[in-house]
Structures are given as C-alpha cells and as structure tokens.
Structure 1
Amino acid sequence: MPGAQEHTEESATENRSNLVIAERSPPNLLDPQPIVEVHVTSPEGQTQSFKIHKNFICYYSPFFDAAFNSKSVEGESQGPELDDTPHDVFGIFVNWLYMQTINIESNREWPIRCMLLVNIWLLADRVMVPRLQKEALCLLGEAGRMNGEFPPSQYQRIYRNTTQDSPLRACIVKMWRDLTISNSELYPRELLVDLVNRLGPIKRRLEVERFCDAFAAVDEDSNLFEPFDMDFEPLIAEKTRVSSDMLEAPQEGKTKRKLVQTGFTEENIRGSIA
C-alpha cells in the first residue's frame, strides 16, 4: 500500500536523523564556541569559577549537558554549581576535556597522587564521564602495585560517595596488603565487610595450598602416603615363623611338629594351636 510505504520511509528517515544526533562528532575549536562557567566549591567551602568551552564539557558530560541546555537555565548568566569538589581535581578534569589524558605531576608522592585519582574518579562518577573513571582506576591500579595500598584517610570519603557495587570499592579491597588496623575510626563498616568477604576465601585457599605442599614434601621424603597395598600372608608367616606348607595343611599334628622344629616352646605351641 502506498500510504503504508510512505509512512515506513518517513520513520526510517526519522530514525536515521536521531542516530546522527546521538552520534555527535567530537568537539573542536575550528569555529568560535560559547564559553560557560562552572562554580566549584571545595570541601573547605571556598568557591572558584572555571570557564570552559560549552561544546567540550557538554559533549563529554551528560550531567553538564543537561545543566547547560535545560530550559530552566536558558537565559541565565549564573552557571551550575558543584560543591564538595577540590579545585585542583576539577582543574584536572577541565584539562582532560581538552587533552583526553589525566595530567598529574610525576613528582607527586603516592598519597597525594592517590587522593587526586580517587577524587577524579568520584567527580567523573558524579558528572557521568565513564571514560575518565576508567582511566583514573587504571592509574590507581598501576600506581598501587608499585607503591602500596590506599591511604586510610581516603576510606571514609570513598565509601560515603559510592555504592556497594562500586568499582572503586573493589579496587581498594583488591589492593589491600596490610592486615593490621591501627585506627578503626578510619575504616567504614562496609569496608571491613568487603575485606572479610574477599580475604576470607583467599586465606582458606592459601591454607589449603600450604597443606598440599606439606603433604607432597612428606610424601617425597618418607613415602608415608604411598597407597596402602600390602600382602599380609608373608608378614604373618614371618611373625609366627610358620612355614608355607603349614598354611596349606593346618592339621594339629603337622602344625605341632613344624612349630617344634622352628624352636617354639610348649607354651607357644599350645597358644598357637589354640
């Protein structure tokens, strides 16, 4: 039917248009672009404004895309506000928007680098930038293997701002090395539960491996654990000093003669015959 065919073609055209809109091209600065402001308040309560090209921040962050393009903010000069965010962390985020790499000075000590990467991950989670989250988590894992576990000062902040299935929580537990807890106030209850759930099976597996190693060592040295396959008749014959023909013909007279020949006393003979 012509009408149905026209309707189908219109739907296909509309779907292709929506697909083109969804698959936006990466931002660039080939043409003049509008500048927007984000007001960032640090955990200490200090506010600083960052000016960013709108096409960059809206392309990579659905959070800011909605904030700058929603009807409620059209025509308003006041940009969105972001609280509880360190200024240097947001600066790294802005630099990442343009350079697509996390730039942290290489001379920063591990606790500082760890704190920055943790806060970058939390910020990326908040503004919905999974690519930045993945990069921060990879850097945490690489640095952690060389430097050690997370600084305990970050545990409360991490667990306060993440959910139970958070990859950042899993990263903490996976990198855990020190089994001692010096100050329990630094460790959220959820972290202790995660550690028990992960380290318990690991401990049991290590105990089983150690037992198996010890078992194998004893087996190699003394053959104590060889399969128990033994012929009892020769041992019995040796113990009682009874010849093979006695086992074949156990009549009382013949048995008595053989025992006497082998040197048994009368008491032993009576006991053996009885």
Structure 2
Amino acid sequence: MATPAKRNHLTYLFEASPFFKAAFTSDFRENPERTMTLPEDDETIFELFVDWLYHQRYDVPSTPNDPETPCDRFMQPVQLFVLADKYGVRNLKNVIVSQIHSVVKMSSDVPKEATIAYAYEHTSQNSTIRKVLADMMACYVGRNWFERAVNQTWLRDHHDISMDVMVRLAERAEDAYGGPFYRGVPEEYVEEEEESEE
C-alpha cells in the first residue's frame, strides 16, 4: 500500500498526465514499488516538470542556463514543452507557450536555430510550440537574417520550419493593410528606366 506521501505525489501526476495515470494504474499491478524508469528523459528537465506539478508555475530563464553552451534562454522551455507533449501534459504546454509569448512580447528575443530545430524534431506538425516559433521568426527575424547564405542553407535543410515561417509571413502580409495587392503598385515592383548613354 502506498504511503500518504506517495499517494499525494501520484495524485498530482495523475491529474496532470493521462500517460502516467494509465501507466501506473494498469501496467504496474505487478510492481509493488510503483516506480518507473525514464532513461531517455533529461533529468534536469524532468525535475522542472516535477516542480511544475507541485507549484503549477514555470518561468522562462532570463539567461541561458550555462553561458558556456551555445544554446539560448528558450532551449529549456522548449525541452520542457517536448517532455510535456510526450506525456500529454496539456496544462504545462499552455503555461510554457504563454510564458514564451510574454518574454518575446517584452524583449523581441528569438530562439537560436538549434532550439527551433529541436522543437521541430520532437513535436508533431500541429504542435502549438511550432506555431509560436514560426511566428517569432516571421515577426522578429530581420530580412538580413534570411539573406545570409548560411541561414538559407539551414532553411533548406529544415523545410518544415521554412514552410511554417512562409505561412506566417504570408499571414502577416495579409494583415498589414490587406497586403500589397490591395493598394497601388508598390514601388519595388516597378523597374526604373535605365539611363541611356549619349
């Protein structure tokens, strides 16, 4: 029989995750310890999940966790989102998306390419984190970024990201004054007459 402390832990877990509820109520009848090993999950990220279970709060780090690593402040929340997505923890996913949105709204910070690629590699096509990341790129990544050869190569290598960003850019163009086809002909569409040499 589970102690009150264990029962309390499991209650939080079961309320948050249908995966864990199903796993602990069906597959673990033969496991009197009622334990589960999750070797593929990052321990630090799982600890953040457990912390969220008890406090129902998560804040995006103000700076990268380790200044020596080439990741950014968004890698940790994206990793936590992926873990929450894996175990069906919808409320945590919504908290993370909301926190990322708030940070971006206040700072215009954009995740690095490695963070975006990680999210796309570990989530499904309709994932909300993909929508947020694509919107971040469409809104806050400047034209110069898209013109750099290294970034063009990255976008070609990550066609799913490219497509999402193009859709988001198209939506922004539609929203901005109805797009270029609801006004007069934009100057950039008109070729200037070449000066003749006489």
- Fold in common (TM above 0.5): yes
Residue 171 of structure 1, CA deviation: 0.5
Matching residue's letter, 2:158 = P
Q: Choose from 189, 202, 207 the match for 2:159.
A: 189
Q: Does 1:160 align with 2:117?
A: no
- Structure 1 unaligned segments of length 5 or more: list them: 1-30, 36-51, 216-274
Matching residue's letter, 2:132 = C
- Whole-angstrom CA distance in 2 between matches of 1:118 and 1:190: 17
What secondary structure does 2:125 align onto? Answer: coil
1:226 corresponding residue in structure 2:
none
Mark the CA change 1:95 to 1:214 in structure 2 (over 3 Å): closer, same or farther.
same
Residue 87 of structure 1, CA deviation: 1.9
- Whole-angstrom CA distance in 2 between matches of 1:87 and 1:213: 56
Q: Choose from 102, 113, 124 the match for 1:142.
A: 102
Q: Does 1:86 align with 2:42?
A: yes
Q: Which moved more, 1:77-86 or 1:58-67?
A: 77-86
- Structure 2 unaligned segments of length 5 or more: list them: 188-198
Please state which structure has a larger fraction of its residues in strand.
1
Q: Is the 8 A contact 1:33 1:55 kept in 2?
A: no
1:102 corresponding residue in structure 2:
58
Mark the CA change 1:170 to 1:213 in structure 2 (over 3 Å): closer, same or farther.
same
Residue 164 of structure 1, CA deviation: 1.9
Q: Is the 8 A contact 2:73 2:111 kept in 1?
A: no
Matching residue's letter, 2:14 = C
1:238 corresponding residue in structure 2:
none
Q: Choose from 186, 192, 198 the match for 2:168.
A: 198
Residue 78 of structure 1, CA deviation: 6.9
What secondary structure does 2:80 align onto? Answer: helix
1:243 corresponding residue in structure 2:
none
2:191 corresponding residue in structure 1:
none
Q: Does 1:32 align with 2:29?
A: no
Residue 67 of structure 1, CA deviation: 1.3
Residue 86 of structure 1, CA deviation: 2.3
- Whole-angstrom CA distance in 2 between matches of 1:195 and 1:107: 25
- Whole-angstrom CA distance in 2 between matches of 1:159 and 1:98: 28
Q: Is the 8 A contact 1:96 1:103 kept in 2?
A: no
1:272 corresponding residue in structure 2:
none
Deviations 1:40-61 (A, max 9, x none): xxxxxxxxxxxx9222212221
Deviations 1:91-115 (A, max 9, x none): 1110111111015554547954301
2:195 corresponding residue in structure 1:
none
Mark the CA change 1:139 to 1:59 in structure 2 (over 3 Å): closer, same or farther.
same
What secondary structure does 1:82 align onto? Answer: coil
Percent identity between matched residues is: 23
Q: Is the 8 A contact 1:144 1:150 kept in 2?
A: no
Between structure 1 and structure 2, the one with the greater Rg is: 1
How many residues align? The count is 168
TM-score of the aligned structures, taking structure 1 as reference length: 0.52
Q: Does 1:170 align with 2:170?
A: no
Matching residue's letter, 1:101 = R
1:53 corresponding residue in structure 2:
9
Residue 170 of structure 1, CA deviation: 0.7
- Whole-angstrom CA distance in 2 between matches of 1:34 and 1:68: 12
1:73 corresponding residue in structure 2:
28
Q: Is the 8 A contact 1:58 1:65 kept in 2?
A: yes
